[in-house]
Structure formats: structure tokens, C-alpha cells
Chains A and B, each alone.
Chain A
Amino acid sequence: GQQVMQIPQYQHVQEGEDFTTYCNSSTTLSNIQWYKQRPGGHPVFLIQLVKSGEVKKQKRLTFQFGEAKKNSSLHITATQTTDVGTYFCAGRGSSGDKLTFGTGTRLAVRP
């Protein structure tokens, strides 16, 4: 079945440093979604990418979808303590079937 891995599992950065999490799927995806889950909270939808090579920005967050539609990345510029949480990618297979969540990357930010 489809597997979606994220690296790193955990990253601890100093406030102001940049952060990137990478998402890799075992199969080609029709689209990919990114979610943020704060400690003790629930996943909150951030963005969806659909097109090969697509890049979208939300303030300090930049999302990319790979040309082969098998990988994606989330980059945060100049992290803030409010960025703390676990970031999940979630990919939908090319046949449009269920959403499979990645393993997640937990971000900690030192003030």
C-alpha cells in the first residue's frame, strides 16, 4: 500500500532559524495536503498542492510539490515560537483514493 514518510522526525531550532520538512511517497500522488498539529491539539489544514512543480507561499511558509508528484516540502523562514507543533503531509493516490498521512515532523523552537 501507499506509504508516506517524512524527515526529519524531530527538529529543534533557535528562534529565527529556518526549518524544512520533507515528505516522500512510495507512489505518485494526485495531490498533497499539509496539516499542522499543535501539542494537545488537532490537525489544522494549511494548504493543498495539486500541480507538478507547484510552489505556494503563506507568509513565512513555502510549500513545494515535486515534479514527479512523489515528494513535497514545507519550508519555514525565520521560525517563531508559534510555529511549534507537528507538521504532517497527507497524500492522495493517483486514483483519488483515501488520504494517507505522513509520519510527521515535530518542530521545537528555542526562544
Chain B
Amino acid sequence: DTEVTQTPKHLVMGMTNKKSLKCEQHMGHRAMYWYKQKAKKPPELMFVYSYEKLSINESVPSRFSPECPNSSLLNLHLHALQPEDSALYLCASSQGQALGRGNTIYFGEGSWLTVV
């Protein structure tokens, strides 16, 4: 069982809606990540937070807006999405510095997003 919890597990939203994905971890990890995964493809990095500060934004469109309220929580705010944004959104965390060489990344179960 994963110790990274994501809600909701499934989300259907219209292109004009505003919704949020939430992620929580209680492992004391100081780096948290959002990945996007399309069917039959590997996870693609979107954002990295290290010690609650945004350290990497992989040129993600502004309709995706991350937020890290504290070291245990990570949100992804969604607004004006397109159907092609439908995917599995994975939250992950790792100990210590986000880009540390020895860091193992632990994934949550993901949120399945469908944009209609």
C-alpha cells in the first residue's frame, strides 16, 4: 500500500470547470512531485517542490497550477482544461533534496482525470 494518498481517484470535469487534485504524504519527505501519465506511456514530470518551494516547472501550461500549502500537502489546481489533458495524474514524494542522487520516488495511486 502506498503512503502517498491522492484524492479524488476519479474526476470528470468540463472545459470551463475549476477543480483541484490533492495529495498528502506523512513520511516526512521534503520533495513532492506531480507527474502526468497518458495510456501506455511513461510518467512525465510536471512539477517538483523541494522544501515547499517550486523548484522545477517542466514548461507546463498555466491551466495547471500547483500549490504546496505545507510539507505534507500538494495540490494541483485545474482550470480551463482541454480534452487532451485527460490522463492519470500521479503525485509522488521523496526524502530530502528533490534532486538528490539517492532519492527513491514513491508514487500515490493517482487521480484519473477525464475532461469533457
Contact = CB atoms under 8 A, between A and B. Distances in A.
A101 B42 contact: yes
A79 interface: no
Given A42-B109, A43-B43, A98-B48, A33 B100 contact: no
Contact of A96 (B2, B42, B101, B108): B101
Interface SS of chain B: loop
Interface string B29-57: 00000000000111111001000000010
Interface string A24-54: 0000001101010000011111001010000
Contacts of A69: none
Interface residues of A, number: 23
B76 to A, nearest CB: 16
A92 B108 contact: no
Contacts of B56: 98
Of listed B48, B90, B104, B110, residue having the most chain A CB within 10 A: B104
Given A31-B102, A96-B99, A102 B42 contact: yes
B25 to A, nearest CB: 14
Contacts of B99: 96-98
B64 interface: no
Given A42-B2, A42-B90, A104 B104 contact: no
Interface string A76-98: 00000000000010101000111
A103 B43 CA distance: 9
A48 B101 CA distance: 11
Given A42-B90, A45-B107, 14 more contacts: A31-B101, A42-B2, A43-B90, A43-B107, A45-B106, A50-B101, A90-B105, A92-B101, A96-B100, A97-B99, A99-B45, A101-B43, A102-B42, A106-B40
Interface of B: 2, 40-45, 48, 56, 88, 90, 99-102, 104-110
